[in-house]
Amino acid sequence: MIRPAASGTAPALGAKPKRFRGKSFKEAMEFYVFISPWFVVFVLLGLIPLLYGLYLSFTNYAGFNMDRLKFVGFANYHKVFTDNDAMYSLGRTLLITGIMVPLSTILGFLLAVLLNQNIKNIGLYRTLFFIPSIIPVVAVGTMWRSLFVDDGVVNNALESLGLQPVDWLGYDYAMVPLLIMLLWGVGGGILIYLAGLKGVSKDLYEAAAIDGATALQRFVKITVPLVTPVLFFQFIMNIIGSLQIFVQPILLAANSNSLLSLPIRPNYVYSVHAFQQIFAYGRFGYGLALLWVLFIMILVLTVIVFSTSKLWVFYEVDQEGR
Amino acid sequence: MKRAFRSTLLSTLLVSSMIALSACGGNAQNNSASSPDSGSASPSAGASASASEGGASDGKPVVIRHTMYDTEFTSEMVAEFEKTHPNIKVELVSADYNKLMAMMAAGNGPDIIRTNTNELPGYVLKGMALDLTENFNSSSVFHTDDFYPVVNNFRYDVTSGAQGTGPLYGFPKDWSPDFTIYYNKKMFEAAGIPVPSATDAMTWKEIVELGKKLTVANGKKVSQYGLVYFNGSTAANQDLMNLQLLQQGGSMFSSDFSSADLTTPQVKDLLNFWVDAAKSGVGPSPLHQETDWGGQLFVDNKAAMIIAGYWFSGFLKTNELTKDRLADFGVAPAPMAEGGKRISPTAFGTGAVIYKNSKHPKEAWEVFEWFFGGKPAEDRAKEGYGLPGTKTLAAMLPQTTEFDKLNYDFIQNELQYTEGTLPYSPFLNYQAVNSVFEKYFTPVYFDKDTVDGAAQKMTEELNTLIAEGKDLISPE
C-alpha cells in the first residue's frame, strides 16, 4: 500500500493517533465495509456451518442424538480409509476425474477455437454449444437416462444400423452414459475460453504469417501459450468440479426417483457415498468426515497444480512484484 | 466522502434486509408423495419457525403443530376444526425424516407426527410417541371393538420388542393391503389365459409363472411386463421379502430384532426366487430398466399385473388414461407362500402418533381424535383412496359404480386375511435397508456375485447397522 508522504495537518495534542486518521486507514475501512455484505453472509452461512460440521465429524452424531453426543476422536476419519466402499468410490471418482478433466478442458478449448471465427451466424453456433451447460442438471440426467434405456433412442438407432443393442445402464457399460452426459456440457467453458482467445493480439498472427508460419504453428506457438492462464483456470475448476460429482450418477440409477437412489456400482462416486451414509444410514459424523477428507484432497490437488503452474502458464503481465 | 457514506449505508441496508428475509422465510414446501418412501432428502436449514405456544390458561389459543401433508389435512379442514374449537389453532409443519429428527434433538418436536406402520417401533424406541391407550379407551369417538387388526400395527411393546401388542400409540389415517394384484383383463384375453380368482390366493411361484406367460418380449426388449411391483422393480426388496417370510412364519431378524441373518436356507430360497424372476424379465429390474414407476407402466398398458394396494383403485379412477375404461381391470388377492399362512397385510399404513413431550397433550388429542375418528375419517372412507381403521367406516367405501362394487366386494373378502405385521427391525432405517439390498444384490442379477456371497455381506452390514442403532437408542 502506498503510504502518503506527509499528511496535511499536524495532529493536535490529545487528538486521535495518526494511524486512525490517515488516508490509508480510511481506505482500509471502506474496503472492509464494502466487502462486509459478502463477508457477513460467508461467515454466518458458510464458515460457521462448515466448522460446525467439522466438529460434528468428531462425534457420533446420528441426527437425533444431539443431546447426548459422544466424542469419538478420529474414529470417523479412520473409518474413511478402512471402509471398502469409501475407497472404492474414491477410486471411481478419481477415474472419472482422470478421464473427464483432460477431455473436457481440451475439447472445450478446441470448441472455443472453432467458435472464435468471424463467419456468418457465429453467434448462433456459440449459443447452441453453450445451451447444454445451462439446462438444469435433473432435466439433463433424466433425458440421457431415457435415451440409454434398453428401448431408448440409442439402442433403436443401433438396431436400425444393424448393430446389436447394448445394455448401457448395466454393469459393463455404465460409465459410458455418464461420461457422454458430462461431455455434452463441455460448451460451458467456451465463454471463458473465448474471452481468453480474444485477448490474443491479432498483430502477433500477422507478424507470424509474414514470417511464414503455418496455421498450425501459429496455433501452437502463439495461441496456446497466450491462453494458458485461461486453460489453467479451467483445468483447476474442472478438477474441483469433477471430484465432487454427485447428481449425474444418481440420475442414471434404476428407479432414479429420489436423491437416495443408488447408482450402479461402477458409477458409485465419493459424494454419493457420503450422501448415502448421512441420509440413508444416518451416520452424520462419518459422512461429514468423508466430506472433509474430500475437501482436503481437493485442496492438496489444487495446491499441486498451482505449484506446477510456473512451468507452463505464461502471463503477459509480470506477476512478480506488486 | 459523502458518496462513500451513502453507498456504505445502501449496502448495509441491502445486506440486513437480505438476512432478515432469509431468516423469516418459513419453509412452506411440502413433500407431495405418491410413493411411501419417507426418507426423501431435502434437508432444510434448521428447524422451521416455531409458532408461539400460548397456554390455555392465559386465554390465548393453543397452537398444535402436525406433520401431515397439506393434501391430507387441508386448509378447509383446519378452518372447519378451528370454528368448533376456538381455543386451538392447527399449524402444518413440513418435516421429512431428517428434519423431524433435528426437531426432536432440539426438543421442539411437532405435537402430531405423521407415522407409517413400519416407522412406529422406531419412534417409540426413540421416545417420541405418547402412550394413548387410555385416551382411546375413554374416547367417545373411538370404539376399540370396532377396530380392524391394522390398528394393532400402532401398538408396540418396548419390553418384548414386539410390534402388534402392547400400548396403543397412534391410529391409521388410511391403509391398504399393499400386496394385492390389479390386472388388465384385456391382456389375459389376448394371451388366452383365465383371469385369477377374486377370492382364492395364488402362490408366489404361480403368480410369477402367470406373469411369465403374460410377458411379451422381443429379444431383450420387453414391450409388456407380466408382473410389476408398484415401485417399478420386480426384484428382491425388504417389503416383499418380509411379507413372504411372515407368511412362512420366518424372519430376517431374531425375535427381538437385535440381529439379522439372511444366510438361512429360508431366506436364500426367497432371494434365489427373486433372482430368477428378475432374470426372466417378468418385470422391470436392474436388468430391464424403465423410466416409469409401476403404476405408470400399468396405465400405459406396458404391464399385465401390478402388486399394489386398494389405493391403486383410486388412482385408476382418476388417471386420464384409465378412468374411462375401468371395465378392463380386475383385482386378485395377495399371493401367499406355499404351505404358508394367507396373510395380506399393509406395508405402509399411514397414521400418526402424538409427541411424547408435547406441551399440550390434551389439545393435541382433540385434534387427533377429530382428524382420525371424526368427519375427516368419514370423508376419507367415502373417497375410496384407502381403507379406514374401523369397520363402521368401511361401510362408507364407494360402491356406486361397477368398478367400485368390484373393489368393495373384493376388499370385504380380503379383509379377513389382513392381520399381521411385517417384521421390519426398529433399529434400522428403512432407507438404509433399501440401500443395503440395492448395493449387494444388484451385482447378483448381473452374475457379478452369488446369492450366498451377497447374503453373507448383507447380514454383516445389517448387523453392524443394528448394533449402531441399538447403541444410539440406549447408550450404555
Q: Across residues B82-97, what is the average pLDDT?
A: 91
Is residue A297 in a domain?
yes
d(CA B191, CA A31): 79
B92 vs B74: CA distance, rounded Å: 9
Average pLDDT over residues B53-78: 81
Burial of A228 (0-12, 13-18, 19+ CB in 10 A): middle
Q: Does domain B178-234+281-344 have CATH number 3.30.390.30?
A: no
pLDDT reported for residue B47: 35
Tell me: do A36 and A146 sit in the same domain: no
Residue B3 confidence (pLDDT) above 90: no
> Which residues of chain A are within 8 Å of residue B234 when distances are taken between CB atoms?
none
Q: At what angle do helices B75-84 and B361-373 cross, to 10 degrees?
A: 120
**% pLDDT > 70, chain A:** 92
Give the mean model confidence (pLDDT) for residues B399-406.
92
Band (pLDDT 50/70/90 cuts) for residue A184 is: very high
The one-letter amino acid at B364: A
- Find the CATH number of the domain harbouring A276: 1.10.3720.10
Domains of chain B by residue range: 56-176+347-409, 178-234+281-344, 247-268+428-476
Q: State the pLDDT at residue A142.
A: 92
Over residues B187-194, the mean pLDDT reads: 94
Model confidence at A18, pLDDT cuts 50, 70, 90, reads: low
Q: Is A70 a domain residue?
A: no
Residue B191 in contact with residue B214, Cβ under 8 Å? yes
**Cβ of B31 under 8 Å from any chain A Cβ?**
no
Half-sphere exposure of A68 (CA within 13 A, CB side): 10
Whether A81 and A197 map to the same domain: the answer is: yes
Q: Are residues A83 and A196 in the same domain?
A: yes
pLDDT for position B29: 37
CB pairs under 8 A between A and B: 129
- Lowest model confidence (mean pLDDT) among A224-228, B11-15, B172-176, B445-449: B11-15
pLDDT at B85 over 50: yes
The predicted structure's pLDDT at residue B21 = 60
Given a cut of 80, whether residue B40 has pLDDT beyond it is: no
In a domain, A86, yes or no: yes
Predicted ipTM?
A: 0.82
Its domain, for residue A33, covers 21-56
> What is the pLDDT at residue B315?
94
Are A81 and A51 found together in one domain? no
Place of cell 425424516: B97
Q: A314 vs B50, which has greater pLDDT?
A: A314
Instruction: Identify the residue among A85, A255, A265 best suited for mutation to test binding to B, counting B beta carbons within 10 A and taking the highest.
Output: A255
Helix (H) or strand (E) holding B167: strand B162-168
Q: Which residue is closest to A23 within chain B, CA to CA?
A: B1
Restricting to B residues 141-170, those with a Cβ less than 8 Å away from any Cβ of A are none
A43 and A147 housed in the same domain:
no
3-state secondary structure of A290: helix
What does the mean pLDDT of chain B come to? 87
Q: Do B439 and A265 touch (CB under 8 A)?
A: yes
Can you tell me the mean pLDDT for B260-275?
95
On chain A, the residues whose CB falls within 8 A of the CB of B438 are 262
Those of residues 265-294 in B touching chain A at CB distance below 8 A are 284-291, 293
Q: Is the CB of residue A142 less than 8 Å from the CB of residue A251? A: yes
Cβ <8 Å between B472 and A33: no
Tell me, yes or no, whether A186 lies in a domain. yes
Instruction: Look at residue A315 in the predicted model and tell me its pLDDT.
Output: 82
Distance from CA of B40 to the nearest CA of A (A): 6
CATH code: domain B56-176+347-409 is 3.40.190.10
Counted domains in chain A: 2
Asked if residues B232 and B290 have their Cβ atoms less than 8 Å apart, the reply is yes
Q: What is the mean pLDDT of residues B100-117?
A: 87
User: B58: which residues sit within 8 A by CB, 6+ positions away?
Assistant: none
Per-residue pLDDT of B366-385, as tens digits, reads 999 999 999 999 999 999 89
Instruction: Tell whether B474 is within 8 A of chain A (Cβ).
Output: no
Q: With a cut of 90, say whether residue A59 has pLDDT above it.
A: yes
Structure confidence by residue, pLDDT tens digits, B232-263: 889 999 999 999 999 999 999 998 888 999 99
Q: What is the pLDDT of residue A67?
A: 76
Query: Higher model confidence: residue A142 or residue B60?
Result: A142
Q: Which residues of B touch A155 (CB under 8 A)?
A: 221
> In this structure, what DSSP letter does residue B51 have?
P
The answer to the question of residue A203 being in a domain is: yes
CA B168, distance to chain mean position in Å, is 19
| pLDDT score recorded for residue A12 | 54
Q: Is the CB of B20 inside 8 Å of chain A's CB atoms?
A: no
Task: Assess whether A133 and A174 both reside in one domain.
Answer: yes
Q: What is the rounded CA–CA span in Å between residue A121 and residue A113?
A: 16
Q: Are A234 and B11 in contact (CB under 8 A)?
A: no
pLDDT at A71 over 90: yes
B56-176+347-409 and B178-234+281-344 share one fold: yes
C-alpha radius of gyration, chain B, whole number:
24
Confidence of residue B269 (pLDDT cuts 50, 70, 90): very high
Is A320 a domain residue?
A: no
> Per-residue pLDDT tens for B212-232?
999 999 877 889 999 999 988
C-alpha distances in Å from residue B112, one per residue of B97, B164, B353: 14, 21, 6
**How many CB atoms within 10 Å of residue B360?**
21
Q: Give the alpha-carbon dihedral of A221, A225, A227, A230, to 10 degrees.
A: 150
DSSP state of B147: B
